[in-house]
Amino acid sequence: MAEEGHSIDGLVQGYPKKDGTFEYGTAGFRKDAEVMDFIVMRMGLLAALRSKVCGGEVVGLVITASHNPVKDNGVKLVDPDGGMMAEAWEEIATHLVNVNDGDVAGAVGDIAKRFNVDDAATGCVYIGRDTRPSSDRLLQAAMQGVSGIPNVSSQDFGVVSTPHLHFLVRAHNLKQSSDYWNVIGENYQLVAKSLPISDGSAYTGDVLVDGANGVGAGCAVQLNKACGDYLNLSVINDGTTGVLNLDCGADYVKSNQREPPNHEFLPNQRCCSFDGDADRIVYFSKDGDNVFHLLDGDKIAVLIAEFIMELLEAASLHLNVGVVQTAYANGAATNVLEERKIPIACTSTGVKHLHHKAKDFEIGVYFEANGHGTVLYSDKATKMITDAKAAESETDSLGPAGQLYHYMQISNQAVGDSCADLCMVELALRKKQWSVQDWDGQCKFLPNRMLKVKVADRRVIKTTNAERQVTEPSDLQPAIDSLVAEYEQGRSFVRPSGTEDVVRVYAEANTQVTADHLAARVACAVFDNAGGSGQRPQEPSPLGAKRVKH
């Protein structure tokens, strides 16, 4: 436990500002680790102030750069409810980090005055970090920053996953159990015990976990112990020899649509990949013909939503279940949800948007295609499920309401969580007694391609309809519509990056060749209409009659 005791001016001298302009986004601040020291110190100051403003409730600070290369690092704050920092404070964070060294004390004073912060008020900041070599150094910067605000302490939880720290903050403030592994493990075992595997079942509890050479590798080992004999996790890319996120992890598997190259995977083996801070998960396998199959956030969302709805029906509970997607959701997944009459909401890219939208449902399932997601339960849903469990006859095996109650306890309702999500997927597969091939066969994804186009200023791109349509430049959307019309099952959208001057292009079509072709042509349209910078994307050769819709 670290206590206060440093002047802000003295801290600034020890952590002078680096050149550049920095913006707090969904991922907090994220840069090359050599730039991060002063940013982390100032975020320590802000976290301490935030705790005071929130009546002394614990606030979290996580040092991580998630799926970024090991040379990078980052920092983001966790609000008392365990969620991301309130959006209104993002502007405050951006301002505090960008003011000159001589103005930091004044900026802190302005924040304190704005929110009527009393010097005598107390607060506490929980701090966690990932496995990056720079994280130990940045931990000291964070703790020093917290010490600059009177009567606020910090507690270092060491190397933990991002969702684990979110869980700890939420649990403390809600006065719930803070034993993360016990909460997940006990509830998993209770549900798994009530779902016996029959003879000849295609399901086994064997899963190969790619730990991205990060904190998630250790998490998988802990999870394996917590879940007992009902789950058998083996771990590759455990950090003993490999480099964090290099040719491994959820982002690598999703972006490259291939398995990590440093391991030989068995045919039809069920595998999953965590990202560098263990808040994303994607599944994958290779079939008997050595063809790679990806089961990403879209397929996870469909599986979990269906599982929950089956349990609700069996328990005679009537609750509104919905799935939140972004424009990146594969069109085939959207079609399956519509066919199965599961309500869908679409929102802008970014976890904070999905998390907020999921609260519109009594049970909200949200997953980005990249594998970041969770399930949220409203107060109404929690009470109904709890009451229904209490009303069930007590036997050695849980009834459907009891299964749903303990399944609900596994969900990390603060943030996406690789370990919790793995457990939710595995229980759904166990109930259905599906192999990974059975699961994959429920929804055949449309081939897709993602590209990025360098532009002079990404801000020239304006979008609407959850980023699915461009409003500016005015000629760009008609150009995209014209191209999409030429492809069978074609769909494409573009959006400006949140962190760099590039425009991201997404396209899907009936074959990989046509999806690649459409993406390349849309990229050229973006370059021509949105002030492309550098070399223009190569215009693909015509596909001829194969391209035209029938």
Burial class for 55, CB neighbours closer than 10 Å (0-12, 13-18, 19+)? exposed
Please identify which of the residues 66, 134, 154, 194 carries the catalytic annotation.
Answer: 66
Select from 278, 364, 294 the least CA-distant residue to 332. Answer: 294
Which two structure tokens, joined as six digits, stand for 521?
Answer: 């042509």
* Known catalytic residue at 533: no
**Do the Cβ atoms of 52 and 117 come closer than 8 Å?**
yes
Q: In angstroms, rounded to a whole number, what is the distance separating the alpha carbons of residues 70 and 66?
A: 9
Sequence-ordered list of residues with C-beta below 8 angstroms from that of 299, at least 6 positions apart, any chain: 283, 333, 439, 440, 442, 443, 445
3-state SS, residue 324? strand
Cα 200–Cα 336–Cα 302 angle in degrees, nearest 5: 60
Q: In angstroms, rounded to a whole number, what is the distance separating the alpha carbons of residues 107 and 432?
A: 56
What does residue 185 show for φ and ψ, rounded to 5 degrees? -65, -45
Beta bridge partners of 503: 453, 496
3-state SS, residue 10? helix
Q: In angstroms, rounded to a whole number, what is the distance separating the alpha carbons of residues 211 and 240?
A: 11
Q: Phi-psi region for residue 371, left (φ > 0), alpha (ψ -120 to 50) or beta?
A: left
Name the residue type at position 439.
Answer: W
Q: What spatial distance separates the first Cα and last Cα of the chain, rounded to whole Å?
A: 68
Q: In angstroms, rounded to a whole number, what is the distance separating the alpha carbons of residues 338 and 358?
A: 17
Strand order of the β-sheet with 206-210 is: 232-236, 206-210, 271-274, 281-286, 292-295
Query: How many CB atoms neighbour CB 99 within 10 A?
Result: 18
Q: In angstroms, rounded to a whole number, what is the distance separating the alpha carbons of residues 172 and 57?
A: 9
Q: Helices (DSSP H) in 266-399: which residue ranges?
A: 297-314, 331-339, 351-358, 379-391
**What is the set of active-site residues?**
66
